[in-house]
Copies of this chain bind each other. A is one copy, B any other.
Amino acid sequence: MALIGKLVVCGVGLIGGSFALALREAGAVGRIVGIGRTSAALERARELGVIDEVAEDWAGALDGADFVLLAAPVGQLEGIMAAMAPHLQAGTVVTDAGSTKRDVIEAAYRHLDAHLPYVVPAHPIAGAEKSGVEAAFATLYRDRKVVLTPLPENEATAVELVRAAWTACGATVVDMAPQDHDRVFAAVSHLPHLLAFGLVHDLAGRANAELLFSHAASGFRDFTRIAGSHPEMWRDICIANRQALLGELDQYLAELAYLRALLMAGDGKRLEQLFDEAQHARNAWAAQFVPTSTAE
């Protein structure tokens, strides 16, 4: 018997679509139903075989559902939870793929209060700068981390089912407190995205933008890869996690102020020392970091 009989994926894009493909490839799922705001995208997902059927509404989608993955941008999750709440059946496990966790949990407390034992917040640390169901692939989560931030109210069986589903996708599951999650990812993911978007936006607005871009090389390509990410998704993440992100941005601005002072003073010695420490830390990290494809 499959791990999950009826799976509902809300938002069948890169993240939701890859989850569906991975579970199907693992033989871990029976029927896959898609739901979302864009019917054309859902139709395309069905044509591609990523989902088996498109749900008309939440009543139909949740009828007999074992497992629901909410894979829409985090800014939509509150509205989605409000819409699905009246139709949730007892025991259906609900999880999400949001890159922020405190805001998703707050929304769950507001709208899924009666269902909290079965609502298990999660964040798969994977993705790509391409979005949409066309970009989905079954191995996206292989050897990637998925962070669970279980609620005190959770039933152990619900947490274990979410853990088992992501494990079936090839991921490694770790648990964190939601506030730790949001602070850590503000630093290592949300801030770098903001910085990359900012640099490209700055340069693209210059009178000599064409000249600048024509001389940009591979260092620029890699530094700005994440500026190719989904604008709406990253707007939602930045807004949802803005408190932690502002803290990280301010700490980074202090670092830049220090670098600026070293440049002003022409202090090559301290500048080299700082670069050297960064180089060592970066190379030590990269030496034990293993993933294969482009991802966030």
Contact = CB atoms under 8 A, between A and B. Distances in A.
Interface residues of A, number: 92
A276 B194 CA distance: 12
A194 B197 CA distance: 16
Number of copies: 2
Interface in A124-157: 125-127, 144-145, 147
Contacts of A264: 242, 246
Contacts of A246: 260, 263-264
A241 to B, nearest CB: 10
Interface string A192-229: 11111111111111101101110111111111111111
A266 to B, nearest CB: 6
Contacts of A199: 191-192, 195, 252, 255
A199 to B, nearest CB: 7
Interface string A262-288: 011010100110111111011101100
Interface of A: 75, 125-127, 144-145, 147, 180, 184-185, 187-189, 191-206, 208-209, 211-213, 215-232, 234-236, 238-239, 242, 245-246, 249-253, 255-256, 259-260, 263-264, 266, 268, 271-272, 274-279, 281-283, 285-286, 289, 291, 293-296
